[in-house]
Structure 1
Amino acid sequence: MILSASGRRMALLSGLMATLLLGPTPAVEAQQGTLRERIRERIAERREGRDGRKGDPASDAALASPGTHKGRLEVMGKDRLFMVHVPPSYRAGQPMPVLLAFHGGGGSMELQADDSRYGLISKSDSAGFIAVFPNGHSSMPGHHLATWNAGGCCGPARDGGSEDVAFVRALIEHLKQQLSVDARRIYATGMSNGGMMSHRLACELSEQLAGIAAVAGTDATSSCQPRRPIPVLMIHALDDDHVLYNGGAGPEAFRDSSKVMDFVSVPETTQRWVQRNRCSGTPQKVLDKPGAWCERYSGCADGVQVQQCTTETGGHSWPGGRSRPGKGQPSQALDATDTLWAFFQAQSRR
């Protein structure tokens, strides 16, 4: 029998009323059970990165293959995301250095992995290291607009007491399990709030890190007792209008001062590390060119070094990167990516 459109609607309505009044029929129950099972399987697949959807974390096995992959860890009951770029030269069984790169406040791992802005993936390929881009604390869809709990800064990560050091510690262990990592050559760098996070890690994970390089980010910790001396590089612009070179936050930051802090100056941050690393003597100028210079303290405990590089212009940006809308032109007198990797290489040979 063929029902008309109105007849089909009446049959559907009658079936719905019967289900509401009498409960689902065995056939409907079976369909609902199958649907619930499929939903549970789909959720499990997404958590484990098995459903092949673009943007979902790759399996642990995929992380060990050349290319850029996304990953997820559960740390203290929270999902934490990260990206890993494995260069073509990677070979299982041959330990390779690792560089952890932390995005700025309000950024994301995808932003820090943008090669046109930071050049870290290209450097990974040419220099032969594994580049890792952790994602900060975020309650936003897609985990964007993320921040790091670097001590006194910044935003929701600081205010909510985000366990970011625990995340990094767990991430390092995870990388060691999945990749051939040179545990003696794990470094950290970051931009702005990410640079501040690098300072905090140097204070709390000095036994696991071989050095840090902070770009446009000063020390935001209130207490710092590293277990061992650690190499530190700072790169900062004299005209930084956000994290002011001589201390404080610029007008842009004070539009919502509750999200930042009264930033420590670049010279004060440098002196803190000079004292922590028990450096002696005066710094030596190791770079002096139009628009940029670097000074290095070499007489430090365990042979580590503390280096401060300054650009005359560039504002709150990554030297050597491209300009961003409304952010001005980064200084081209210095390439931050090349400078930090050369610094780390020099430390590994000490």
Structure 2
Amino acid sequence: MRLRDRMAMRAAETPFIPGVVERSLTLDGVRRSYLILDDARPGTKAPVVILLHGGGGNGGTMISRWQAKAHAEGLILVAPNGMGQKAKAGTWNAGGCCGEAMTSGSDDVHFIGALIDQMSRSADVDANRIFVAGLSNGGMLAHRVAIAMPERLAGVAIVAGAMFGGEPAPRAPVPILIMHGMKDQVVGFNGGMSPTRFVARAQSKPFKPVSYAANFWRKADGCTALPNIVTQGDVTTEVSGNCRAGSEVRVYRLASANHGWPGATDGMAPALERNRYDAISATDVIWDFFKAHPRDPRP
């Protein structure tokens, strides 16, 4: 049975976003849920973008800002839900953060890997164009997923996320995009414990600065050229090329941006939402990056 047919059987189960259906799988006795929006064009194998919401959010908050892009580009969006006592307010275990997912030891990397397994088996999916994009706590998990399974991903984007130090080197290079506001008061650009008190209470380790993550991935991807740095208005872009296997590390420093998804206001827990930032659209920039980096087929 094709993915679209299986989804149609469950269409009535997710009424809050038109065209989105909810599905679940069970891992180690735990039911994990996720949302799918299938805008694949008939007769084609579609790219898949796995969207990881921020702490206190849910899959629907990520799909809402990618809906138009999915329709325009023929994408399949997969938006898993984090762990939490409240159905629409989940967190991810990113090692040093956050909340219930971290304290319970939720194996969220395994969950995302299982989703990739499931999507890769579908006749509708181009297994060489599976991407991951994460926001905040979801961006922290995106780093972990990229390290754990780089050979399965065509590209990974992290918005307002962080690393914690001590990460192992990934087995293979993977294109990485990092986007972060320099005035972020939730996940600080320069690292440390969160300036937002309840977020700091959800941490077990301080955040590493954005520069740490950028240098980690430049080394992991074997980038030998110095970054090409261009500033246009509020946005500074650092592009590291000459990387292994055609990979690339691209960093966007947003001078006046706080915490959130640039180009959108929705999608954060209310206590974390900050002023809308429109100097750049995260969705547009990330998709352009992903589109330029299909994974080379492996034998």
1 CA distance for matches of 2:48 and 2:210?
26
Matched, 1:109 2:55: no
**Change beyond 3 A, Cα 1:250–1:256:** closer
Match of 2:187, as an amino acid?
V
**Change beyond 3 A, Cα 1:349–1:173:** closer
**Change beyond 3 A, Cα 1:51–1:102:** closer
Report how far residue 179 of structure 1 moved: 4.6
Structure 2 unaligned residues grouped into runs of 5+ = 1-7
Which of 329, 334, 339 is matched with 2:285 structurally?
339
Q: Is the 8 A contact 2:191 2:208 kept in 1?
A: yes
Q: Output the TM-score relative to the length of structure 2.
A: 0.88
Matched, 1:69 2:21: yes
1 CA distance for matches of 2:188 and 2:199?
16
**Structure 1, residues 173-206: CA drift from partner, whole Å, max 9, x if none?**
2223345111111000011000111100000011
Q: What corresponds to 1:257 in structure 2?
A: 200
Q: What corresponds to 1:137 in structure 2?
A: 83
Structure 1 unaligned residues grouped into runs of 5+ = 1-48, 57-65
2 CA distance for matches of 1:213 and 1:277?
15
Q: Is the 8 A contact 1:237 1:315 kept in 2?
A: yes
**Structure 1, residues 200-241: CA drift from partner, whole Å, max 9, x if none?**
000001111111000000123632231210110000001000
Q: Output the TM-score relative to the length of structure 1.
A: 0.75
Match of 1:91, as an amino acid?
P
Higher relative contact order (CA 8 A, sep 6+): 2
Q: What corresponds to 1:305 in structure 2?
A: 248
Which of 14, 18, 27 is matched with 1:55 structurally?
14
Going by fraction, where is helix more abundant, 1 or 2? 1
2 CA distance for matches of 1:225 and 1:284?
24
Which of 200, 207, 217 is matched with 1:273 structurally?
217
Report how far residue 293 of structure 1 moved: 1.8
2 CA distance for matches of 1:52 and 1:345?
29
**Change beyond 3 A, Cα 1:50–1:300:** closer
Q: What corresponds to 1:22 in structure 2?
A: none
Match of 1:314, as an amino acid?
A
**Change beyond 3 A, Cα 1:215–1:281:** same
Matched, 1:99 2:49: yes
2 CA distance for matches of 1:179 and 1:190?
26
Matched, 1:121 2:67: yes
**Change beyond 3 A, Cα 1:179–1:108:** farther
Match of 1:212, as an amino acid?
V
Q: What corresponds to 2:4 in structure 1?
A: none
**Change beyond 3 A, Cα 1:256–1:349:** closer
**Change beyond 3 A, Cα 1:51–1:322:** closer
Q: What corresponds to 1:289 in structure 2?
A: 232
Match of 1:332, as an amino acid?
D
Which of 84, 87, 91 is matched with 2:36 structurally?
84
Match of 1:328, as an amino acid?
R
**Change beyond 3 A, Cα 1:306–1:51:** closer
Report how far residue 127 of structure 1 moved: 1.6
Identity of aligned residues (%): 33
Q: Is the 8 A contact 1:150 1:221 kept in 2?
A: no
**Structure 1, residues 85-141: CA drift from partner, whole Å, max 9, x if none?**
111x5225x211100000001111122222xxxx2111111122111101111233x
Report how far residue 50 of structure 1 moved: 7.3
1 CA distance for matches of 2:42 and 2:176?
29
Report how far residue 55 of structure 1 moved: 3.5
Report how far residue 54 of structure 1 moved: 4.2
Match of 2:200, as an amino acid?
S
Which of 136, 159, 163 is matched with 2:103 structurally?
159
**Change beyond 3 A, Cα 1:226–1:50:** same
1 CA distance for matches of 2:166 and 2:85?
26
Matched, 1:330 2:298: no
Q: Is the 8 A contact 1:184 1:209 kept in 2?
A: yes
**Structure 1, residues 13-53: CA drift from partner, whole Å, max 9, x if none?**
xxxxxxxxxxxxxxxxxxxxxxxxxxxxxxxxxxxx97986
Q: Is the 8 A contact 1:151 1:222 kept in 2?
A: no
- 294-303 or 319-328, which deviates more: 319-328
Q: Is the 8 A contact 1:152 1:221 kept in 2?
A: no
